[in-house]
């Protein structure tokens, strides 16, 4: 069973989806807890992170060097400094008495589940300020970030200009609306790998349990033997790629 404070990270809808999934799959279920924590940390901005109650982390900050904070483990304060996401997830798991056992789990199944968790965390609505704010800084002081080394021989060493970060197979940068997705009618019958539900009814995208919150932001056009889905700016690349994974196996 997932801890109640996960509802503030996944949203009420996402929490219900993952809770049902954990009960149905013991092997993959043990992966959900640490992966939700990792996804939450990765999507948090630099600075002080306000933790949802009753999370065992009483203090948490993020910088370019890692995560630092204090956790309550059996009544004792455990301090950590510049730790990795995995280390923080392990700390939260130990403090929450969570058992983690991944024996016999395939990497491909874990990768698919990770994409679904990332999408749910992104889609989760923000809680009121007095409950949980995913990314909040304590002051106007800029948080620490990795400092690039200074070139010692600038006249001899030339660096290439950086291009906008792009995901393979997707030609749009992260800050733009995802491109329309064209699928065959047979592909539209595929089921979500997490909740097991179909996403179309009468050739119209209605979403499964996982994608229901975003379904109203999708327009479905019927093109002979195929369907074209058009998205608005509510969809980000992470949610878009997760949908592509369902219908086209990530291609």
58-68: burial string, b at 16+ Cβ within 10 Å, e else: eebbbeeebbb
pLDDT at position 131, please?
39
User: What average pLDDT does the segment 57-86 reach?
Assistant: 89
Among 209, 228, 210, 207, smallest CA distance to 219 is for: 228
Of 199, 201, 214, 213, nearest in space to 246 by CA: 199
- Domain ranges for the chain: 6-123, 181-248
Residues 58, 68: Cα–Cα separation, whole Å: 11
pLDDT band at 67 (very low <50, low <70, confident <90, very high): very high
Q: For 111-154, what is each residue's pLDDT tens digit?
A: 777 888 888 888 877 644 333 334 444 444 445 555 555 545 44
pLDDT of res. 162 = 45
Which whole number is the average pLDDT over 13-32? 77
Alpha carbon separation from 94 to 1, 41, 63, 73, 99 (Å, rounded): 15, 17, 23, 7, 8
In sequence order, the β-bridge partners of residue 230 are 219
Residue 58's closest CA among 46, 47, 48, 66? 48
Lowest-confidence range among 16-30, 73-87, 165-179?
Answer: 165-179
Say if CB 27 and CB 102 are below 8 A apart: yes
Q: For residues 15 and 11, give the distance between their C-alpha atoms in angstroms, rounded to a whole number.
A: 6
pLDDT digits (tens, 9 = 90+) for 149-196: 554 544 444 444 444 434 344 444 445 677 888 888 888 888 877 677
Helices (H), the chain: 6-24, 26-42, 85-95, 107-123, 212-215, 237-248
Residue found by looking up tokens 């149905």 in the block: 24
* Angstrom distances, CA of residue 59 to CA of 48, 62, 107, 126: 8, 11, 33, 20
Q: In what order do the strands lie in the sheet with 181-184?
A: 181-184, 226-231, 218-223
**Half-sphere exposure of residue 155, counting CA atoms within 13 Å on the CB side?**
0
pLDDT at 60: 92
Residues present in the chain in total: 251
Helices marked H in 68-175: 85-95, 107-123
| pTM (predicted TM-score) | 0.51
Assess contact for 175 and 182: CB atoms under 8 A: no
Q: How far is CA 240 from CA 188, 206, 214, 229, 246, in A?
A: 15, 15, 10, 11, 10
């Amino acid at each position: 069973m997932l801890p109640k404070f996960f509802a503030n990270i996944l949203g009420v809808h996402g929490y219900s989806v993952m809770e049902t999934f954990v009960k149905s799959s013991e092997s993959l279920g043990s992966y959900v807890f640490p992966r939700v924590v990792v996804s939450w940390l990765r999507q948090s901005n630099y600075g002080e992170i306000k933790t949802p109650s009753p999370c065992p982390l009483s203090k948490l900050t993020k910088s370019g060097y890692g995560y630092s904070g204090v956790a309550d483990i059996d009544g004792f304060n455990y301090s950590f400094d510049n730790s990795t996401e995995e280390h923080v997830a392990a700390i939260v798991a130990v403090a929450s008495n969570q058992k983690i056992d991944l024996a016999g789990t395939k990497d491909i199944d874990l990768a698919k589940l990770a994409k679904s968790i990332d999408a749910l965390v992104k889609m989760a609505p923000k809680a009121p300020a007095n409950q949980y704010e995913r990314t909040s800084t304590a002051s106007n002081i800029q948080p620490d970030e990795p400092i690039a080394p200074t070139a010692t021989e600038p006249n001899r060493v030339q660096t290439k200009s950086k291009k906008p970060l792009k995901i393979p197979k997707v030609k749009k940068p992260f800050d733009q609306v995802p491109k329309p997705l064209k699928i065959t009618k047979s592909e539209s019958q595929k089921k979500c790998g997490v909740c097991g539900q179909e996403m179309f009814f009468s050739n119209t995208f209605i979403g499964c349990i996982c994608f229901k919150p975003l379904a109203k932001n999708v327009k479905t056009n019927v093109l002979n033997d195929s369907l074209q889905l058009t998205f608005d700016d509510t969809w980000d690349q992470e949610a878009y790629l997760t949908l592509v994974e369902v219908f086209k196996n990530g291609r």
